Every structure is written in structure tokens, then in C-alpha cells.
Amino acid sequence: MLDFIARRLVAIIPVLTVVAVLVFLMLRLTPGDPAAVIAGDNATSDQINDIREKLGLNEPIWTQFAIWIGNILQGNFGESFFFKKTVAELIAQRIEPTLALAMCTLIFAVCVSVPLGVLAAYRQGSVLDRIVMAFCVMGFSVPGFVIGYCLIYVFAIELGWLPVQGYIRIGVNFWQFLERMVLPSLTLSVGFIALISRITRASVLEVLNEDYIRTARAKGLSSRVVLMRHALRNAAVPILTVIGLGVAILIGGAVVTESVFGLPGLGRLTVEAVLSRDFPTIQTVILMFSVVYVVVNLLIDISYTVFDPRIRY
């Protein structure tokens, strides 16, 4: 097992290296002087020279990459000239809303979609099944920001139950924080729920045809036990896989959702950074999200053994 984890850790190194090279080349392939681009539109020539010096832009490109990656590995992500802060500070400041949104969405989506998928599979062809399947297609087709604005319109403007936009830090007032998390998490959940319940339904359906399910039923076990202990557990691997892949949707969705609800998170930061052409920030955010995505999927790979002891590494 430890051997497997070590091997998987080694295997993500080439992937992350390619990501790092792509993110690095991103800026070097920009037309014009990268130092001027990083410094932004209002920089003085001293500032530009300073950056050129720091990045070693006069060195060959391999050396530049080595300097850049060395800085990043030491936690030095550069400086945002637009926000007048180091990128590390900026991210530390903006990470809470994004983490909170991702967690709320993940918990809510899994709690809703797994039971939905199991029920749809158990009652295959029923009205419930049809509704779930229709919801899945809809969930893939309606963009997050349209859902977000519909929810704002109904629950915040017409009914006035929840605040329209904004964010309160979790440490400041927990209830107000929670109030402001409801609509964004619901918005972001829709696509995720569609994805997970569809896969859950499909994999439970496949398992339900197995002999051991018939055996379990023949033993006189209740449908609930059969569904939860026998079927769902064996269907867990594809469900987990899709939750891991869905993290990409979560990250992409966070960018849009944070903009709709005015959450000052990393997604909003990304958009602000692009609008102000703040490259050190864009590079760091992309690198960070990619690392998160890869690591989450690695953890999920490892967790397979817990759910399915037949999988041995």
C-alpha cells in the first residue's frame, strides 16, 4: 500500500511538470516584453528593469525556468503589481470564500445526488427515475450563472428570504456566513448533482444485476440493506472517480459563481487578475488549482482500496 502511494506520488510529478512548463511558457509566449507585461500598464522603467533582473529575463530560457520554478518551490510566487501585494498574501486573503463554497457544495451535492441516483436505479423506469434523468440533462445544459440569477430573483428579491450577494467571514458571524453560502452552493451544486447522480444511477444499475444481489435478497435482507451495504458499496469506485473529475467543474464553476454572488474568493481574483493582466497572479492561481485537482484525484485513487478491498496495489 505504501509502495503504491509512493509510486502514485512519483507518477504525478511528470504531470505537474508539464503543467508548470505550460504555465511558464504562457507568459513567455506573450507578444512583447514579459517584464513589461508583469509590471502592468502604469509601471515605470525602473520597475520593469527590476522585474527583468528578478526573473533573470536576460538569461537563456532554461535558466529562467529554473529560477521561476525554484522561486515557486520556495513559496515565492512573485508580486502582483496591480494589487500591490505578494501573490502569496493575496491568495491567503482570498482562499476562505472559495474553500467554504467548495466544501458546502461538495457536501450538499454528495448528500443529495447519491441517494437520488440509488433511488433512480432501484426504481428504474419509474416517474422518479425519469425526473432524476431529466434533471441530469438539464443540469448539464443550464449555465451556472443563469441558475444563480434565477435563485437570486426568487429567494432574495421576490421572497426576500436570503441576502442577494456578499460574503461574511466564518469567524465574524457564523449564521450570516451560512445565510450567504446557501444560494452560491445551490447554484454550484446543480451541475455537480447532475454528474454524480447520473453516474451513481448507472453504476448501481450495473451492480443490481449481479448474482450476489439476488443472493442477498433471497437471504431475506431488506431492500435498504441490499441497496446500501451490497449495491452502493460495490458501485462506489466509479462514483468516487467522477467526484474527483468533477472537481474540475467545481473549480470552473467557482469562478462564475463567485462573480454572480460577489464572493471575494480565488475565482473572482482570477477574473480580476485577467482583466488587469496581472500575470503572476494568474499563473499562481492556475498552478494552484491544477495541483489541487491532481492531488484530489490521487487521494481518490488511494481511497479505492477502502471501498473495494478487491483492489490491491
Partner 1 sequence: MTVATEDLVDSASIAAASTKRKSLWLLALRNPNVIIGGSILLIMLAIAALAPFLGTVDPTRIDPASRNKKPGTEITMRLDDGQAVKRVALMGTDSLGRDVYSRVIYGTRVSLAVGAAVAIIAIAIGVVIGLVSGYIRWLDGIIMRIMDGLMAIPGILLAIAMVSIWRAGLITVIFAIVVPDVPRVVRLVRSIVLTVREEPYVEGAISVGTPTWVLMFRHILPNTVAPLIVQGTFLAASAILVEAALSFLGIGIPPEIPSWGNIMAEGRTLFRVFPHNIFYPGIFLAFTVLAINIMGDGLRDTLDPKMSKKV
- Site for partner 1, rule CB under 8 A: 14-19, 21-23, 26-27, 29-30, 137-138, 140-146, 149-150, 152-153, 157, 164, 195, 198-199, 202, 206, 241-242, 245-249, 251-252, 255-256, 259, 270-271, 273-275, 277, 279, 282, 285-286, 289-290, 293-294
Burial 166-189 (b: 16+ CB within 10 A, else e): ebbeeeeeeeebeebbbbbbbbbb
Contacts of 56 (CB under 8 A, 6+ apart): 63, 64, 67
Cβ at position 189, least distance to partner 1 in Å: 16
Cβ at position 153, least distance to partner 1 in Å: 6
Cβ at position 260, least distance to partner 1 in Å: 8
Cβ at position 56, least distance to partner 1 in Å: 21
Sign of the Cα pseudo-torsion (228, 230, 231, 233, in order): positive
Given a contact cutoff of 8 angstroms between Cβ atoms, the answer to whether 303 and 1 are in contact is no
Cβ at position 81, least distance to partner 1 in Å: 15
Residue 168 vs 286, nearer CB to partner 1:
286
Residue 216 vs 239, nearer CB to partner 1:
239
Cβ at position 201, least distance to partner 1 in Å: 10
Residue 232 vs 282, nearer CB to partner 1:
282
Residue 143 vs 166, nearer CB to partner 1:
143
Residue 95 vs 170, nearer CB to partner 1:
95
Instruction: Quote the cell numbers at residue 163.
Output: 441576502
Cβ at position 30, least distance to partner 1 in Å: 5
With cell 488511494, the residue in question is 302
Residue 7 vs 229, nearer CB to partner 1:
7
Given a contact cutoff of 8 angstroms between Cβ atoms, the answer to whether 262 and 167 are in contact is yes
Residue 66 vs 146, nearer CB to partner 1:
146
Given a contact cutoff of 8 angstroms between Cβ atoms, the answer to whether 254 and 266 are in contact is yes
Neighbours of 43 (CB within 10 A): 17
Among 197, 198, 204, which Cα is nearest to 110's? 197
With cell 536576460, the residue in question is 58
Among 133, 134, 147, which Cα is nearest to 105's? 147
Helix axes 87-122, 279-307, angle to 10 degrees: 40
Cβ at position 291, least distance to partner 1 in Å: 9
Residue 25 vs 306, nearer CB to partner 1:
25
Query: Hey, what amino acid is at 80?
Result: S
Cα distances from 244 to residues 50, 123, 190, 229, 249, in angstroms, run 42, 27, 16, 22, 10
